[in-house]
Amino acid sequence: MAAGRRVEKREDLKRRLIDAAEVRIGKSGLAALRARDLAEDAGCALGAIYNAFEDMDDLILRVNARTLARLGQMASGTGASDPGARLKELALAYAAFASENTNLWAAIFEHRMAGDRPTPEWYLQENAVLIEQIVKPVAKLRPGLAQRELLVRARTLFSAVHGIVTISIENRFVGIPAANLKAELERFVDVLVTGIEGTPDR
């Protein structure tokens, strides 16, 4: 028989488990994910999950990495050259992704490592896609800013937009009209860009 049959099957099981977890999280949310369900979905024994992955956290991180990759791909296309317009594009694309893939998107931010183990380094690096594309337009708006500073500003911009999208989707406040997230974000980015243009570097 072929020499690589074993690793091949192993990779296949991994893929099936990640697929199943992705479907389950997408349908019912991270909190409803069950190891026994995944084993049934993937057609393997309960214990087999722990041959393929360190633990459930590891598996969840693989799913989240996929979602992050999709987010990165979505933002990586060449967009508007005007930095303000580009930032608006990115914000709207992020909001659209969150609206259309709510459970998978939420899993990225809801997940916490079991016990108090640290998040693995490889996964933390996957998160970079969330701010990578923001750096360039910010650099255009703030020429002369060091890369180090640009990253901090990009992170702040992302965080602000992320917060708006998150709170809007969470529906945390009663009595507030179900605002149009898209319109609200457009206004917000407009205000922000105007503010950046009218504020000297510091």
Partner DNA sequence: AGAAGAAAATGAACGGTGTTCAAAATTTGC
Partner DNA sequence: GCAAATTTTGAACACCGTTCATTTTCTTCT
Residue ranges in contact with DNA by CB under 7 A = 1-7, 9-10, 13, 33-36, 44-52, 55-57, 114
What is the smallest separation between the CB atom of 120 and a second copy, expressed in angstroms?
Answer: 11
Q: For the chain, where are the alpha helices, taking DSSP H only?
A: 5-28, 35-42, 49-52, 56-76, 83-100, 102-110, 121-126, 129-141, 147-170, 181-197
Residue with smaller CB distance to a second copy, 51 or 159: 159
Residue 146: which of a second copy, DNA, none does it interact with, CB under 5 to 8 A by kind?
none
For DNA, the closer CB: 22 or 89 = 22
Q: What's the min distance (Å) between Cβ of 197 and a second copy?
A: 8
The Cα 22–Cα 104 span in angstroms is 7
Among 102, 108, 160, 99, smallest CA distance to 129 is for 108
Least distance to DNA from the beta carbon of 58, Å?
A: 8
Half-sphere exposure of 169 (CA within 13 A, CB side): 20
**Largest distance between two CA atoms of the chain:** 70
Binding site for a second copy (CB under 8 A): 31, 110, 112, 121, 124-125, 127-128, 130-131, 148, 151-152, 155-156, 158-164, 166-168, 172-177, 179, 184, 187-188, 190-196, 198-199, 202
32: DSSP letter = G
Q: How far is the CB of 32 from a second copy (least distance, A)?
A: 8
Q: How far is CA 17 from CA 4, 85, 114, 179, in A?
A: 20, 40, 19, 38
Residue 164 interacting entry, from DNA, a second copy, none, C-beta within 5 to 8 Å by type: a second copy
- Classify the C-alpha dihedral 6-35-53-106 as positive or negative: positive
Partner whose binding site includes residue 57, from DNA, a second copy, none (CB under 5 to 8 Å by kind) = DNA
- Calpha distance 27→41 (Å, rounded): 14
Picked from a second copy, DNA, none, the partner binding residue 159 (CB below 5 to 8 A depending on kind) is a second copy
Q: Which is nearer to a second copy, 48 or 160 (CB)?
A: 160
CB of 48 to a second copy, least distance (A): 27
